[in-house]
Structure 1
Amino acid sequence: MSKKKILKIGITGGIGSGKSIICRIFGCVGVPIYDADSRARWIMNNHQALQQEVTAEFGTEAYDSQGQLNRPYMAKQVFNDSNKVKTLNQLVHPKVGQDFAAWVQLYPNAPYLLKEAALMFESGSHQALDRVITVFAPKDVRIKRVLQRDPQRSEEQVKAIFGKQLAEEEKIKRADFVVYNDDQQMVLPQVLRLHEQFLNL
């Protein structure tokens, strides 16, 4: 008997779009969710081979004496250097891909699974998924949300992060589905409609 293929759905969106809230709604209806960004942080602190690769590339200061990633140091290293960002991504993304593949095996009976990632198209990880949702909110709404959530950031810093992410219009073009989280439309009906569609796929 052939093994049932589990439907894998990606969910992405720029900083401040509210994709975590959308994921929480999917979680409330029983959908398992893989948070790629938090798993990437965990892997960077716990995957010995990756730690060695990062140290070889970025120097011994990349990790502190407890073996935890030196985030301020790494942020300085990569924030304004696209080549270093690319190098770091080339080290981390394959490990996250392996981790996701292992996680999928934990849910053989799930109707479908969700993978949440901010840089889904940028990293190419959408290629291993069956469908992709992008969560959209206008730029001014996103700036306001991020400044409320992260008071330590300035508006200039938030706009700099925008500049490093794929444009929202491009995300919408590449996605199979869009959830509008623009404070104008209710998100719950949108998510429940998608949930019904995915159950029928």
Structure 2
Amino acid sequence: MNTESQIQKPLMIGLTGGIASGKSVVARYLESLGAVLIDADQLSREVVAKGTEGLAEIAEVFGRDILTENGDLNRPALGALIFADEQKREALNSIVHPRVRAESARRIAEAPRGSVIVQDIPLLVETGQAKNFDKVLVVQAPLEERIRRMVEDRGMTRDAALSRIEAQASDAERAEVADVVLDNSTTIESLLEQVDDFWNQHVVEYLETSKTRSQGA
């Protein structure tokens, strides 16, 4: 009999890491292995796109100067504003985070039964979401390497890069909630090998069990 108790619940994996740690590389690789990827950064852009209620609320709170001439969100201006002011950052989060969570929940509900769902959440630790996942993956990279990437790849100043990093949780705080810490201090190949190890140790058995239950249902 095909009952709810026989159907495997999705395996929920929370993925996080500091800015420029290499988290996006891990997210894309997990997706290539078969996971359903829900990218909080992407959703945070969608929920404040032009014409959304989210963008209207941001303009109301921060002023219409935060919009471009075309009516889009001026992200550099907003970023400079919130990373220098914790209260303003919290005000923005109170607008964006509930909408992102609602959209994440909708996509999770639509995922096939027995899915491996990876939620890529930069502020997973800061927003206290670790408890929501079966496994938490944390990507870490050396501070100076992260700063170099932000300066060379994103055109930021060193001070701006440090400001972004300091606005997030520390490596120690992320490691405290991690089931697995991925070390991105050497090569991409090494990083992906660690992802393979995680997948083989923590995901393959779940997928095999899910397949068996589906066939027996």
Fold match, TM over 0.5?
yes
The structure 2 residue matched to 1:165, chosen from 150, 168, 172, is 168
Asked if the contact 1:63/1:70 (under 8 Å) is kept, the reply is yes
Equivalent AA in structure 1 for residue 102 of structure 2: Q
CA distance in 2, matches of 1:6, 1:47: 33
What's 2:79 paired with?
75
Against the structure 1 CA distance between its residues 28 and 56, is the aligned structure 2 distance closer, same or farther, given a 3 Å change threshold?
A: same
1:109 CA displacement = 3.2
What's 2:158 paired with?
155
Asked if the contact 1:112/1:199 (under 8 Å) is kept, the reply is no
Asked if the contact 2:36/2:115 (under 8 Å) is kept, the reply is no
Mapped pair 1:194 → 2:194: no
Structure 2: runs of 5+ lacking an equivalent: 207-217
Against the structure 1 CA distance between its residues 9 and 72, is the aligned structure 2 distance closer, same or farther, given a 3 Å change threshold?
A: same
What's 2:64 paired with?
60
Against the structure 1 CA distance between its residues 127 and 65, is the aligned structure 2 distance closer, same or farther, given a 3 Å change threshold?
A: farther
1:108-155 CA-partner distances (Å, limit 9, x unpaired): 2353110112111112333433321100111122222222311x2112
1:13 CA displacement = 0.6
The structure 2 residue matched to 1:134, chosen from 132, 138, 144, is 138
What's 1:21 paired with?
25
Query: Larger Rg: 1 or 2?
Result: 2
Mapped pair 1:35 → 2:39: yes
Mapped pair 1:177 → 2:154: no
CA distance in 2, matches of 1:96, 1:110: 23
Equivalent AA in structure 2 for residue 71 of structure 1: R
TM-score where L is the length of structure 1: 0.89
Secondary structure at 1:122 match in 2: coil
Task: Say what the alpha-carbon RMSD is for the aligned residues.
Answer: 2.0
Give percent identity, aligned residues only.
28
TM-score where L is the length of structure 2: 0.83
